[in-house]
Each structure stands twice: as C-alpha cells, then as structure tokens.
Chain A
Amino acid sequence: MHKQVTRGLIAFAAVASLTLAGCSASAPEEGSSADDPQAPAEITFLTFQSPNLTEQFWEDQVAEIQKTYPNLTVNLEYTPGLDRQDYAKQLLATGTLPDVIWDVPLQDFVSAGALLPYSSEDLAGIDAPEGSGTIDGEHYSLTVGAQVIPLIYYNKDEFDALGIEEPTTFSELKDAAATIAAAGKTPFLIGGGADSWASTIFLDGIITSDVIAADPQWTAARRAGDVSFTDPDFEAAVKKWLDLSTSGYFNSDALSVDYSQLQSKFANGEGVMYPMGSWAGASQVDFNVGVFALPSSSGDYTLGLNYGQALAVSATTKFPAQAKAFAVAMATGQGANLAQLKADSVIPVAKGFEAPTDIPPLISKTFDAYQTDGAAYVEPFGWTQGQNALPSGFTAEFDKGAQQLLSGSTTVKDFLAQMDKTFDDLDQG
C-alpha cells in the first residue's frame, strides 16, 4: 500500500510538472518601462480585414510605425468578420482583450472599465469634434478619420447616357431613379446577407438628413422620452426609403448579397447608384464614377460623419505608454493617414495633414462631396458613438426590422412601434 502511495505521488509530481511546464509564462523583459514609449514592448492589435483594408495593408502600417518605435513588437489579430464590436466584447468577457483595439462599443467598454483614457497630449494632433469618443468628459477613442454615411456613388457613364444630372433634392433623386428604372436598369444597389448594415445604410442617411439634422441630440431626446420612433418626421423618413423599394428601385437580391458581393455588383455595373459609406471612394471600377451627397427634401445637405474608425487602449495592457504611442502614431502619422485615405477613403482629421495631389480621382471626388457647399455635419443615425450612442444591440435590431420591412413581413407603423419598445428595453442595460 505504502509503495502504491509513493508511486502515486511520484506520478502526480510528474504530471504536474509537465502541466506546469506547458503553462509557464515568459518573464517580462528586463529594462521594460510602462512609461517610456520607446522601451521594448510586445503588444497585440485587434483590427479587421475588408476588401479595402487587407492583411498586407495592416502589416505595412505596423512596419511604418515600427520605424519610429523600433523596440515595439506588434502582433496583429483580426476579427472573424466585419463586425468588430461583438467580437471585441467576446474577448473582453473572456479576459483576452488585446492591448489596442480598432472600433469598440465605447459606452459598454467604458462602463465596464475596460479602456484607458487618452491624455490631452495624446489628442493634441487630432482635429475631431469635441464629443466624438468622449464619455463623462474623458476621451477613450482616438479617431483616425471621418467617414460620410452615406454618399451616393453613381455610374457616370449611365447618367450621361440617360441624360441625368446630379440630383440636388430628394425629389430629383427619385426622378433620376425613375428614369433609370424606365431604361431597364437597377437605380439603387443595397445589400444584406451576412452584413445587415448594408440593408440600412441608405435608410440611415435619409433619417440623418431628415430627422437628426433637425435635432442632432435626437438619441438623448429619445432617451429622455421627448421624441419617439413613431413621430411623424421619423415615420416619413422611413416611408421615403420604403417607397423607393416598393417602386422597384432597389436590386431584387438586396437581402441576399453581403457587402463584398454588393461591392462587386457595383463594380460590374449591375446598378447605377450605390449609396455607401465614403470608403466606397476606394472602389476599383472600369467606368467613370461620380459621387454626390444625399440631398434632403428641401435641398439642404446634412452629412452624417462617423468617427468610429478609432483606436482604443485596453485598461489591462502591460504597456500603456507603448500602446497609446502606437495608437497615436496610427491616428496622426502622415504616412498612416495617407495610407488610410488611399486604401479606404477615410477622411483624415489629423492636424496638419495635407492630401497629396496624386490621390485617386474618386477619392478626390469623395473629398469634394464631403465638402459640399453649405453642408451641415452631424453624427449619423445608427453609427453614433460615445454619449450619443444607441443602446447596445439596438442597431442590429433596427437592421433586422428594416429587412422585414423590405421583405414585406411588417408595416412601417409596426416596425417603428417595435423600435420604440426595443429601444426602451435595451436602454435598461
């Protein structure tokens, strides 16, 4: 018996030592300092890949920053799909949040104490509106630029062939759609499939233009109970969008093509107008493309600017100085800004950034549309960040309901009443 116990202890020790050997962590490098951005550090950066922002793009960006911070090792991680925010939450919940994260659900992460605030020195090189990335007076999100939600990209060759001028009012936009449809072509391309946001980005633009323009603090007003989704202005905006669908102006496969397929459809000339975020300015197509800002019924322009392409730093990072330095370099570096502009048509907001003259023509036109004369700028509906953010998960519910509208399985009134209920429910946390 004694022999068996002894054997058991020896075996346990052997198994335990093997297990521990597999679990042992490497000791921090000597000489590393949490305060010195130039000190050696190894950080992880969570970002995403898209048709515009490829793995090579990110590797080049990191390599560029490492020229300034040669002791910084950056491990790139990618989200499984375009949805960055839910994946970041999963990592947060499992305690494996990377040091630097691209695009987080700011309100949720700040309330969970998961992010480090940036200092005024970190923000010195950014020229973005005060409220973007700010919660309770602290700035947690460093934007790399603005995206317009949406602009209307169009096949200029088709416009010319049909004798259509760039619309300046919503009524003219509808007339243009009617002319295109009468010629047997698809006026607007919208998407769906695995990217439900592609179903609603056009609707978001109409709501921004017709509702948010009149009250940029609409979400706060909704939270306070001063406005509702069933209000006449909101209902009218949704009806405007749905009317385009019932008139047959959207592609028939709208609900089944994801974003990359949608992008291909536009590039293949399968539709004439393409309401999409300003990142479509980086599209590669074989025809002439024009772009204009979405006009309102009155002809005024209100552009929704999304500053969500932003970098956050984890509160649990072992290298806060290096992680912040990396984020600041990516957001403000001339090289990084230029790369973002060329690859994804992101409009840089770094102070002192000057766009070179050799940028691709469509990106240049996107810039012009962004600077449309007399345009006002607000945060776009459905893409708000920080204190103006919609409740967690609300946007996905809105997209789902809007898809039901497109498929005819609900009515505008029922959809909006449901949105009011959903907002109240989700706003409770």
Chain B
Amino acid sequence: MTLSTSASAVSRASARGRRKPRPLATWRFPFAIPGFVFYGGLVLVPLVLSFFYSFTDRSLLRPDASFVGFDNYLRLLSDPSFLGTFGFTSVLTVVNLVLVNAVGLMVAVLLDKVGRVFFAVRMAFFVPVALSGVIVAFIWSRILTDNGVLNSTLRALGLGDLAQSWLGTSFTAQASVVVVTAWQALGLCIVVYLAGLQTVPRELLDSARIDGCGPVGSFANVTWPLLAPSLTINATLLLINGFKTYDIPVVMTGTGPGGATSTVATEVIRVGFSLNRVGLASAMAIIMLAVVAFITVVIVGLLQRREVSN
C-alpha cells in the first residue's frame, strides 16, 4: 500500500464523516401526524387542561367554573386527610423502591445461569407482571382474608399466633398493599437486572478473579458498577409506578379500612368522580405529577452521574 493510496482512503473516510446532512424529507412528516394527534390529544391536552382546571372550582357536572387561584393547592396542603394519603403513597413508593430493587437484584444474580430450571424460575417470577393489577389484587384479597390461604397455612404450620386480620386493620392493610404492589413489580425488576447482568463482559470478571477477587469482590467491583443503567431504569419505573398505584388498593381493600389504603391516584378519582370536584382533583394530580417529576429528575440525575463515573 502506498502513502498516496492511504491518504486517499483517509480523505474518503473524512469526506464521509463530513458529509452534508440530507435535506429533510418533508414528505415523511404527514406520517407522523397520527402520532402527534394521539399524543397531543391523549397526553398533552389533558395535562394542560388539568393544570388549568387546578386553578378553578370546576365541577364534573357543571360547565361553568370560576378562577380560584391557589385555593385548591392551599386546601390540599392543609387537609390532614390528603396529607395522610400522600404520606402513605410516599411510604409505599419508597418501600417499593428499596425492597423491590434489593430483592430483584438478589434474585437476578441467583437466576443468572443457563438451564431449564433457571428459565422456568425466571418465568415464574415474571408471571405477576403479565397479570392485570385487578386480578392480582383479587387473588391476594382471597389469600389475605381472615380465613384465607395465608392464615390457614400459618395455622397448619403451628404458627397460628401470627395469623391475623391482614386487611382488617389500618396498619396490616397498608402493609399488605405495599407487599402486594412490590410482589407484582418484582418480575420486571428482575428482568431488567438480568438483562444488565448479561451485558457484563466475561473478560472483566475473569480478570477480577485472576486479580484475586472473590465472588463478593467481583460483584462489588465489576458487576454492580456495570449495572448502573439497570438501576436507573428500575428506580425510575418503580418511582412512577409507586406514585400512581391505583388498582391494587381499590380492588383489594376498597381503599379501606376507613380510607387507610387510599393513594393519591385513588383520591384523584374519588374527588373528581364521586365528589364531582374536578378542580380539586386536578390540583391533586398536578401535585402528584410535580412530585414524581422532581424526584425522578433528581434520582435519574444522580444515578446517571454514577453511570458516567463508572
């Protein structure tokens, strides 16, 4: 190969790199219109309308509405009932975030093997994700009643002292909703971590082993840092899912007893459609959106910074 040939090749490559962008093919735009229409009509417009309604006393059944400024927001922030609901939703979200991530990672590491048994177990963990939340809640409501499967099993095992009315008291009902929500979210979390684990290069693990790292050292120094993108995805999904929890408390406990398992999402529906107060319900929804958006931005920012540093 001569020098000139080499230079020519470099020049061609350089020219390819600096190639002018092709002019925008305007004929393609109309095909995006249905997408824009659906997204605008089903997401953007309702979002803007909700924001607007949150500053009004709009009713579900009356077309007229008056501007009330920040009254709806001030009312919610001083309403012990709403604050209690918001508190439970926050606890549910945080517990899910920590519990599901921890258990999901542990299970994913244990199942990151080849073989029919592992495949079958992975499938078993994923089944709840494929089920509707309504079905999950219905099944668990039958398991958790006083004469349900859980208490019967405890009694059969001689642990009758642990049997109790899981859905009948505020604390146990709240704990039950949190656990069932986490149980359903676990499968997806495991799958995301398994996908992350399969991208960890074997050579790095081999190098770590040659350098004297044990299984824990390899995990801490190689696997865990490389799982950072999976953690970001899981954290974001769990955060959003936690705050918008609706179906499980509605079906499993009817948000009871005495409203103990109400979440912000169930309250939005109750206030909007049962009390007819669309303005107030919109303010709840906007508060939920703002909190989720803020926490997501902060957490994703922190986790992505960790990804870059890794």
Contact = CB atoms under 8 A, between A and B. Distances in A.
A256 B27 contact: no
B225 interface: no
A250 to B, nearest CB: 11
A7 B145 CA distance: 64
B26 interface: yes
Nearest to B63: A112
Nearest to B144: A256
Interface in B142-183: 142, 144-147, 165-170, 173
B30 interface: yes
B254 A196 contact: yes
Interface in A248-266: 252-258, 261
A253 B60 contact: no
Interface size class of B (residues with CB under 8 A): 35 or more
A403 interface: yes
A256 B60 contact: no
Interface string B252-289: 11101111000000000010011110000000000000
Interface in B1-59: 25-31, 33-34, 59
A182 interface: no
B62 interface: yes
Interface in A192-206: 192-196, 199
B250 interface: yes
Contacts of B120: none
B141 interface: yes
Contacts of A14: 30
Interface in A1-53: 4-5, 7-8, 10-12, 14-16, 19
Contacts, number: 134
Interface hub of B28, B173, B254 (most chain A Cβ within 10 A):
B254
Contacts of B62: 111-112, 429
Nearest to B59: A429
Interface in A78-129: 86, 89-90, 92-93, 108-109, 111-112, 114
A404 interface: yes
B84 to A, nearest CB: 11
A15 B141 contact: no
Nearest to A191: B254
Given A8-B29, A112-B62, A429 B168 contact: no
Interface in A396-422: 396, 400-401, 403-404, 406-407, 409-410
Please classify the interface of chain A as helix (H, G, I), strand (E, B), loop, or mixed, using the class held by over half of its residues.
helix
Nearest to A268: B147
B251 interface: yes
B210 interface: no
Interface string A171-214: 00000000000000000000011111001000000000000000
A73 interface: no
B21 to A, nearest CB: 16
Contacts of B25: 4
Given A89-B60, A111-B61, A396 B274 contact: yes
Given A392-B274, A409-B170, A8 B165 contact: no
A404 B257 contact: yes
A261 B251 contact: no
Given A261-B145, A403-B258, A90 B273 contact: yes
B251 to A, nearest CB: 6
Given A93-B60, A196-B254, A429-B59, A256 B166 contact: yes
A426 B144 CA distance: 34
A393 interface: yes
A130 to B, nearest CB: 26
A322 B211 CA distance: 84
Contact of B257 (A11, A12, A407): A407
A255 B168 contact: yes
Given A89-B273, A255-B168, A429-B276, A8 B258 contact: no
Given A255-B168, A400-B256, A404-B258, A108 B61 contact: yes
Interface residues of A, number: 49
A114 to B, nearest CB: 8
B6 to A, nearest CB: 40
Which of B142, B147, B274: most chain A CB closer than 10 A?
B274
Contacts of A8: 26-27, 29-30
Given A15-B31, A257-B145, A403-B258, A108 B276 contact: yes
Contacts of A10: 27
Contacts of A392: 274-276
Contacts of B251: 194
A101 B251 CA distance: 24
Nearest to A89: B273
Contacts of B144: 256
A203 B259 CA distance: 18
Nearest to A109: B61
Nearest to B23: A4
B30 A256 contact: no
Contacts of A404: 257-259
B30 A12 contact: yes
Contact of B147 (A194, A253, A406): A253
A196 B253 CA distance: 9
A193 B147 contact: no
Contact of A254 (B141, B168, B253): B168
A16 B29 CA distance: 13
Given A409-B170, A429-B276, A4 B26 contact: yes
A113 B253 CA distance: 34
Contacts of B145: 253, 256-257, 261
10 contacts: A4-B27, A255-B257, A256-B141, A256-B165, A393-B274, A400-B259, A403-B256, A404-B258, A406-B257, A429-B62
The 7 closest A-B pairs by CB, nearest first: A256-B167, A404-B258, A253-B146, A194-B254, A7-B27, A112-B61, A393-B275
Given A11-B27, A89-B274, A393-B270, 13 more contacts: A12-B33, A14-B30, A112-B61, A114-B61, A194-B253, A195-B254, A196-B254, A257-B145, A257-B146, A258-B141, A392-B275, A392-B276, A400-B259
